[in-house]
Structure 1
């Protein structure tokens, strides 16, 4: 073999090794490193009593293939250890379609979540794809059900109104119905799995919408961002976004959807601190 041929072969081998290492990293390493990320969220009509109110946001666990019960249990324990004021869960707790097995395994783990002002949950499209009836059963049994209804957290005479939407793809949103009966000046926060929900018609004034579904794209290329997002509005990737209607927060979530990879987009337990704008 000539020197040129040997150099070419070595280059190919090096490229192959680099590709193998990169592939292993995205599947075996980053996908399994769950960060705790903290966000400060200024809300114009936040009551003073709720300044510095903390919310742990969990979404898109995708329990099942490559996401074990031990992994999910550790996420639950870490979330509880943060001692947030409330915990919000925005769907896609299971991964597989047309089976109740994963639903029956993940919900007892979700029911271990605890927060001083409660745990509030809605469903995502994967929960419906697995089994709608069984997912609704556990949602209600858990005591976390916020779908198509609202609940009020009170601190003295001040209120925070929490409402839950149905999944955009597999249910009815019913955002206005969820907040029916709330007071005119309430600071309202909506849990809705799919962030495209913000762009649908509704009349209720919302201070904040909390969503998942996108996984942050799972792969974020430098200087480009995520090449794939399962939403119509490609601005809806992750983090805090100001929309024409409301503030929108999208968590990168825990599990995986189309491909079991993560690159430059670690899974996260998002901790939101609600603040009054003057203190932001």
Structure 2
């Protein structure tokens, strides 16, 4: 008896199978696009952290600080931004820190829109403070008139803007820097006034400032924004696009040396309407005294 030959039937790629694969791939891509442009840009996350400050005044122990950043009014949906402000109000903050890019550069009618959004902000029971970002200086980050208008509008609704200035809140020194990319950046001068014996707080839109030799012995925590966390980030990989030199500063906490800690907030809004694997953020900090 002759042995029977054996063979393996190979799958045949038919036109029907090919079209099914293409349609499936298009459906997945379309779903991801819809998620990134319609859902995640407005899927706001409240992140909660303890902020340890050495020599924190006793009156501030257990108090809350809420950081909001990068609204980009003029591009981001105004109804969503107004709702985000109301979410910040619900946290009942003692201190509110606004860390820049209130508007998107080149936006016409910005003052009215800023007033509409930020008039909803109830502010902190102790202080409501802010610094400007690069977009708040208009195109090429150099229009002082726009920055002045934004500052005035925010002041009218209760936000004290610090432009290379500092204030004291219950014994805690809080500095606010002009944006790093503008011709008005002069952090070196104001940070000379830091109390080198006590921790302070600094509002600084662009985290690249952490690598500059401007700190003059300032120690404490730096609150920044600017990066948006990259906005669109592949899983388990760094974001492909970041508007900073030091690509280490994406989001969250970083030890930047010399008794300084950086926190980068992912922002509430967006420069272009897309977020993927990088939700918008409001940060709620509980202030505690550091043990070291």
Partners in 2 of 1:271 and 1:277 — Cα distance? 18
Q: Matches of residues 192-231 of structure 1 in structure 2 within 5 Å?
A: 192-202=204-214, 203-231=216-244
Partners in 1 of 2:93 and 2:172 — Cα distance? 15
Partners in 2 of 1:69 and 1:11 — Cα distance? 39
Runs of 4 or more consecutive aligned structure 1 residues displaced over 6 Å after TM superposition: none
SS state at 1:106 partner: helix
Q: Aligned-pair distance for 1:181? A: 4.3
| Residue from 41, 45, 56 that aligns with 2:66 | 56
Q: Could you tell me the TM-score, scaled by structure 2's length?
A: 0.86
What CA deviation, in whole Å up to 9, does each residue of 1:146-166 have, x standing for no partner? Answer: 111101011xxxx10001111
Q: Aligned-pair distance for 1:179? A: 4.0
Say if 2:239 is the partner of 1:239: no
Say if 2:143 is the partner of 1:129: no
Unaligned 5+ segments in structure 2 are 1-11
| Residue from 96, 118, 124 that aligns with 1:115 | 124
SS state at 1:31 partner: helix
Partners in 2 of 1:129 and 1:238 — Cα distance? 25
Q: Is the 8 A contact 2:200 2:220 kept in 1?
A: yes
| Residue from 72, 84, 88 that aligns with 2:93 | 84
Partner residue, 2:9? none
| Residue from 92, 97, 109 that aligns with 1:101 | 109
Distance change (3 Å), C-alpha of 1:152 and 1:86: same
Q: Aligned-pair distance for 1:183? A: 3.9
Q: Is the 8 A contact 1:218 1:265 kept in 2?
A: yes
Unaligned 5+ segments in structure 1 are none
Partner residue, 2:32? 22
Give the count of matched residue pairs: 271
Partner residue, 2:20? 10
Q: Aligned-pair distance for 1:170? A: 1.5
Partners in 1 of 2:183 and 2:49 — Cα distance? 30
Partner residue, 2:83? 74
Partners in 1 of 2:232 and 2:251 — Cα distance? 12
Partners in 2 of 1:242 and 1:22 — Cα distance? 35
Q: In terms of Rg, which structure is larger?
A: 2
Q: Aligned-pair distance for 1:182? A: 4.8
Partner residue, 1:40? 50
Q: Could you tell me the TM-score, scaled by structure 1's length?
A: 0.89
What CA deviation, in whole Å up to 9, does each residue of 1:16-42 have, x standing for no partner? Answer: 110001001000001111111111122
